[in-house]
Amino acid sequence: MNRRIAAFGILIVFLSVLVSPVIGAPLTGVQGNRIKANFMSQIPDPADAGKDVDVRWQIVNTISGTVENLRFHLDADYPFLFEAGDSPDRDLGASAGTNDNNVFYVLHYKLRVADNANKGTYNVTLSWSTGEGWTKKEFPLYIDPKRADFVVGALVTSPEKLVADTTEAKLSVNIDNLGKGNAENVKVRLVLPSGFKPTYSYSDEVSLGIIEKGSTKTANFFVDIEENVKEGEHNARLELTYKDENDENNTYRTKTLDLAIPVKPSLYLIIDSVTTAPEKLVPGTKADVRIKVRNTGNEKAQSVSLRVFKDASQPFDFTEKSDFIGKLERNESGDAVLKVAVDSKASAKKYLLDVELRGIDEKNNVVIFRRTLPLTVNPENKNLPSAGVFGAVLAIMSVFAYLKWKKNL
């Protein structure tokens, strides 16, 4: 009898162990396994000694119905420390289940890396509970106290003052390595904003080789600035790829830096309208061509002038090929007048002549704009003038009248 009682007692203890939750051990078949914790990021990667690192998880609840109390606990031992006042516990409260992976919580912790942390991979353990026991999972975080770290230094441009409608502008950007280690095989790509484009193929990319810790290298780029670009700072990006010198895995890392490209105020000259006197040009005629020039820029233009460049195949002879307009304030216009003779054998069509508009900005820089001047030659009117037609009709009628009079004699 005593043996039966002892055996029964052992069986009760064994069964009680099976159904009791074990803190920190995965639970098969319980709700905790239907909470998905997906590691999102550590920023920065790798982490640096003596600095903060942000770690984030994507939490997806696939349990049917609502979990009344969803809790998380992060175990992070040396070399990680919780910031002052922070807690390893997070209580999300009630959580409704979903089968949509696009619906999730973001679990966020900020940890401080110890000043004397060594390079390596360290695990942190994330545990969660729905009220029916705990599930836990380890996640690796990487520390490299000798990693490279970059910032943008000085930006030097040529020309010194960047304005709209500039070609082959040189941007010299200093890349400073403020980290604790050298960076190898550094390559930089310039991502340009709207209104800018590389002057040449690959003039927006450069290889800098090794940038040692505490040192600087200069990346040179060549870009064109379109004529409709407004004044102000335009946001570009520098995308760096590199390898830390002490990375045994030869992993290439990326870093993106912001670069502001300054475009200064500038005069901007356009042809506003073109009129001729007489109004219609025909072969064999002479005319005055009046060209209205407007300054649409954001800076006044001094000593504005216009000059036309005629192709030898075009049927025009300019006795005056240039004219001086003078000072144009912002949005002000002025006239240039040229005298032209149209060849008697000119074909009737629209011709496009090259024109140069020239002005001087407020820093005495000469600014030149290439524009197109349209001139249309109309068909020659081969009909007799109205007086001639009337005279011819009158002459014919006189002849008929004379013949009739002579017949009646």
pLDDT at 395: 63
Q: What is the pTM of this model?
A: 0.52
Which of these, 133, 74, 64, lies nearest to 95 by C-alpha position? Answer: 64
Q: What is the mean pLDDT of the chain?
A: 84
DSSP 343-385: -TT--SSEEEEEEEEEEE-TTS-EEEEEEEEEEEBPPP--SPP
| Whether residue 285 has pLDDT greater than 70 | yes
pLDDT at 177: 94
pLDDT at 392: 57
pLDDT at 188: 97
pLDDT at 384: 45
Quick check: bond before 159 cis, omega within 30? yes
Which of these, 263, 192, 196, lies nearest to 232 by C-alpha position? Answer: 263
What is the per-residue pLDDT across 27-64, written as a single tens digit (0 to 9) for each? Answer: 333 345 688 889 999 998 888 888 889 999 998 888 87
Q: Residue 349 CB: number of other CB atoms within 10 A?
A: 11
Q: Lowest-confidence range among 82-86, 333-337, 344-348? A: 82-86
pLDDT at 405: 55
What is the per-residue pLDDT across 220-248, written as a single tens digit (0 to 9) for each? Answer: 999 999 988 888 999 999 999 999 887 76
Q: Which domains are seen in the chain, by residue range?
A: 23-143 (2.60.40.10), 150-263 (2.60.40.10), 269-376 (2.60.40.10)
pLDDT at 260: 96
Q: Lowest-confidence range among 99-108, 272-281, 325-334? A: 99-108
Q: Which of 89-98, 169-178, 380-389, 396-405 has the highest mean pLDDT?
A: 169-178
What is the per-residue pLDDT across 209-220, written as a single tens digit (0 to 9) for each? Answer: 999 999 999 999
- Amino acid code (one letter) for 381: N
Round the CA-based radius of gyration of the chain to a whole number and report it: 41
What is the per-residue pLDDT across 119-166, written as a single tens digit (0 to 9) for each? Answer: 889 999 999 988 878 899 999 999 988 778 899 999 999 988 898 888
| Whether residue 15 has pLDDT greater than 50 | no
pLDDT at 398: 66
Q: Lowest-confidence range among 9-13, 171-175, 310-314? A: 9-13
